[in-house]
Amino acid sequence: MDFTNSSIALSAIFLILLLIIIAKIIIRKRFPFDSYLTYTWTFFLGISVAEFISFAAGIWIIAVLSFIALKEYLSLIDIRLQDRIGILGAYLSIPFMFYFIQIQWYGMFIIAIPVYSFLAIPLLVSLGGRETQGTVFSIGAIDFGLFLYVFCTGHIAYLLHFGIWKPALLILGVAICDKIAHAIKKRIKSNINNLMLRFIIPLPITVLLSMLTSEWTGIPFIHSIILGSLIPVLVIMGQHTGDYIKADIGVEVNDSSTRRGKVLDNLKSYLFTAPVVFHYIRFFLT
């Protein structure tokens, strides 16, 4: 295998994350930003597998993560037993969409869930039973979770077609913003100051990261600066939206003692970042 500098860097990031996780298991002690570590590593596992072993396998690792996120979301919302057919349809939408990602059929990928799954779910819910009360909520809740935690996450997998380092840049940028936001939340209670610092502090770091990896991502400097500036804003939007969703479904936003909602908490920063960065790259750079 011919290892370039980018391949060595990718391998190093993956191995460092893996060693930290192994050390955490052996020591049995919480690490700083522990809740974000596993999911960052999982994304890099998918990228590394796609680069060094099997491109298709790397994509389906991200599909599994989407399934886990959707499963947790559906377990937290108040949904009827008769909606199980609609829930099954939501789960089947994952391989339906990720197959089109694998074969790089953009036209079908982009409408697989927002058109076909969104049409199928209401029909499947209506076939589940005679009780009509709560149908609108069930359809909306299932479609909403499918859109956020499968469709939006799927954009990261499709980015693999544009080069390994484009999704790697996205994940590293989000990880940096997440860690800084986590540290700021513990120290600053003012919402305005909190939001400003969560943008200002990571901004030069994400811009510098985007510029330093420009040679590997193939993104010109001007677009690297724009993307590096966009990531902190999009992360804040995702965190804000994700926290509101968690609060509405009864999960304490700042409660680190429970495992409920952990997957949603770790993926909330990608809700806006993944699709917007993907479409920016596709529109301007491909």
pLDDT tens-digit profile of 104-150?
999 999 999 999 999 999 999 999 878 888 899 999 999 999 999 99
**Residue 16 structure tokens:** 């460092």
pLDDT confidence of 33, banded at 50, 70, 90?
low
Burial status of residue 225 (CB atoms within 10 A of its CB: 0-12, 13-18, 19 or more): middle
pLDDT tens digit sequence for 177-210: 988 888 887 777 667 667 788 888 999 999 999 9
Q: Which of 169, 200, 171 is nearest to 184 (CA)?
A: 200
**Residue 71 structure tokens:** 């499963």
Alpha carbon separation from 96 to 110, 152, 262 (Å, rounded): 12, 15, 26
- Residue 129 DSSP one-character state: -
Q: Are 59 and 97 in contact (CB under 8 A)?
A: no
pLDDT tens digit sequence for 41-76: 899 999 999 999 999 999 999 999 999 999 999 999
Alpha carbon separation from 147 to 36, 125, 159, 254, 277 (Å, rounded): 22, 17, 17, 24, 17
pLDDT tens digit sequence for 216-242: 999 999 999 999 999 999 999 999 899
pLDDT confidence of 3, banded at 50, 70, 90?
low
